[in-house]
Amino acid sequence: MDEKEKAITPLAVAGTTTVVAGVTIDGMTGAVTLNSPDVLIADRSPTPSNIQFSQALVNPNPAGTFSNVTLTVDTKGRVTSASSGTPLTTFISPGSGYQPMPQPVQLSLYSINPNFNQMYGGFVAGKYQYCIGYQSSPTLLARVDISDFSTVQTLDLSIPTNYDRLWGGFSDGRYLYCLSYNQGVVYRVDLQNWTNTISTLNIQSLNSTINQFMTACTDGLYGYVSNWRGYLCRFSLANFTTTGVTILNLNPLVTLSSNYQDYCTGTDGKQVYTLWANWNNNNVMLTAVDVNNFTLGGSKVLNLSAYAGMEAQSFVLAGDYIYVITRENYNAVPIGNVFKISKDFSSVTTLNLAAVNSSYVGYFSGFTDPQERYLYLGPYSQNTPLVRVDLGDFQSVQAVALPSLAANGCGSCGAGDDGVFGCFLFNDYSTYNTTVVRIPLFDGGNW
């Protein structure tokens, strides 16, 4: 066999059928030249027959070894020519696309559809900001195209009335998983078909005390959802039934009395972190569970109550740290503390945003850009600006005022980014107006 690559041209193929670019040709008629790389030859004769081919040479021109190569490839995927090029000497410096805190824009979902109200569960997946109805009737799911920031698709989930309050969720790319706040139920929606054909996983059927789901996350294999009574539940994405569910009781670690709630759950693929807070005295605990040892023995806890009496609202995972976001103190006074916690729980560093500017208080949710350069924080009240914290020094802070969302306070109930833009989901608690706010992460939204 010559070392040069050879093109294949079949001769007469007795008793066979050859499919070429969607055309069927009987091989009994004689030689056929194939010009498509997609060829199927099937021998359908009563007895096996020999199939013969002639081989036409292909000569790469010139042959040799090349650097920074420019290639020419034919329709069969073969290299027909090659030449060396000039090495790239100019690179974009990481962070060169960042600009001063850019101006946000808003999209009122309520003005598009009055049923888009009280949509408390929000997150970004792919190119969309998803918004999940809490008390909207009917129970709606909306997704906003982040790039054009005008296209809004709606899906009536037709959830039974006793399950009508939905809160948080996540997506694994194919499906969206949303949580019932009233019951211990997870709903799965097929995003590819975008219909209200919904699969249901009733975790409460395994333990009657498990209800009021608020936050969830995924590591790609499992979904994780926490319950305000101290339970962390894991369910298989591939086996979306109760047989794929594992329930972990963290009450021996989370000792905050009966009046506590799960505020946030997230994972870095190694640990599942959950933030718990007491409703009465704002004591806060953070748990971490090893995904490969999903037991009490594979769990640990950090008591944050010693750092400040507070309502810790959510957290963001970035690099080797967990950034816990706070909203108010024990006396319901807005505060601006952000805690930088090492994932092994060995260190806690506090940034007091209010010390930078007294208006930087009362934050609700956040995210980082893909390079994890900045932490973006969304406020509970429209009177508080959006801020971003430089994670390089964990002290430099920039801010920008929110658009005029409504006359009353708004809670940023969900946040995330698509790599180009970041989004916050806001709800006005007087008019129930649901609004999405978009902010470019880089200059003009371009890297």
Instruction: Give yes or no: residues 46 and 116 share one domain.
Output: no
Residue 91 in domain: no
For the stretch 350-369, pLDDT in tens is 999 999 999 999 888 899 99
Nearest Cα residue to 147 out of 349, 371, 361, 419: 419
Residue 100 in domain: no
Instruction: Check residue 443 and give its pLDDT.
Output: 66
Instruction: Give yes or no: residues 311 and 163 share one domain.
Output: yes
| Tokens found for residue 367 | 């995210």
Q: For residues 330 and 441, which has the higher predicted lDDT (pLDDT)? A: 441
Instruction: Check residue 1 and give its pLDDT.
Output: 45
Q: For residues 301 and 156, which has the higher predicted lDDT (pLDDT)? A: 301
Instruction: Give yes or no: residues 80 and 198 share one domain.
Output: no
Instruction: Give yes or no: residues 23 and 114 share one domain.
Output: no
Q: For residues 115 and 76, which has the higher predicted lDDT (pLDDT)? A: 115
Instruction: Check residue 427 and give its pLDDT.
Output: 78
List the domain range (segments joined by +) for residue 14: 6-84
Contact between residue 215 and residue 168 where contact means Cβ atoms under 8 Å apart: yes
pLDDT band (50, 70, 90) for residue 271: very high
Q: Which of 84, 113, 134 lies at the terminal end of a domain, its last residue? A: 84
Q: In what order do the strands lie in the sheet with 337-342?
A: 310-318, 321-329, 337-342, 348-352
Instruction: Check residue 94 and give its pLDDT.
Output: 44
pLDDT band (50, 70, 90) for residue 375: very high
Q: For residues 371 and 82, which has the higher predicted lDDT (pLDDT)? A: 371
Nearest Cα residue to 372 out of 317, 325, 440: 317
For residue 232, give every residue at least 6 positions away whose Cβ sits within 8 Å of its Cβ, in sequence order, or none. 224, 225, 226, 247, 248, 250, 265, 272, 274, 287, 289
- Please give the average per-residue pLDDT across 251-257, as a whole number: 80
Instruction: Give yes or no: residues 316 and 347 share one domain.
Output: yes
Instruction: Give yes or no: residues 57 and 145 share one domain.
Output: no
Residue 373 in domain: yes
Instruction: Give yes or no: residues 80 and 115 share one domain.
Output: no
pLDDT band (50, 70, 90) for residue 49: low
CATH code, 227: 2.130.10.10
Instruction: Check residue 341 and give its pLDDT.
Output: 96
Q: 44-48, 69-73, 193-197: which range is least confident on average? A: 44-48
Using H for helix, E for strand and C for coil, what is the string for the chain? CCCCCEEEEECCCCCEEEEECCEEEEHHHCCCCCCCCCEEEEECCCCCCCCCEEEEECCCECCCCCCCEEEEECCCCCEEEEEECCCCCCCCCCCCCCCCCCCCEEEEHHHHCCCCECCCEEEEECCEEEEECCCCCCCEEEEEECCCCCCEEEEECCCCHHHCCEEEEEECCCEEEEEECCCCEEEEEECCCCCCCEEEEEHHHCCCCCCCEEEEEECCCEEEEEECCCEEEEEECCCCCHHHEEEEECCCCCCCCCCEEEEEEEECCCEEEEEEEECCCCCEEEEEEECCCCCHHHEEEEECCCCCCEEEEEEEEECCEEEEEEEEECCCCECCEEEEEECCCCCEEEEEHHHHCCCCCCEEEEEECCCCCEEEEEECCCCCCEEEEECCCCCCEEEECCCCCCCCCEEEEEEEECCCEEEEEEEECCCCEEEEEEEECCHHHCC
Nearest Cα residue to 10 out of 405, 26, 22, 1: 26
Instruction: Give yes or no: residues 73 and 133 share one domain.
Output: no
Q: Would you tell me how many other CB atoms lie within 10 Å of the CB of residue 329?
A: 16
Domain count, the chain: 2
Radius of gyration of the chain (CA): 28
CA 148 to chain centre: 19
Q: What is this structure's pTM?
A: 0.76
For the stretch 3-43, pLDDT in tens is 444 444 444 444 444 444 444 444 444 444 444 444 444 44
Instruction: Give yes or no: residues 78 and 120 share one domain.
Output: no
- Please give the average per-residue pLDDT across 384-408, as a whole number: 84
Q: 91-100, 117-126, 158-167, 364-373: which range is least confident on average? A: 91-100
pLDDT band (50, 70, 90) for residue 372: very high
Average pLDDT along the chain: 78
Give yes or no for residue 60 having a pLDDT over 60.
no
Instruction: Check residue 327 and give its pLDDT.
Output: 83
| Tokens found for residue 273 | 């972190």
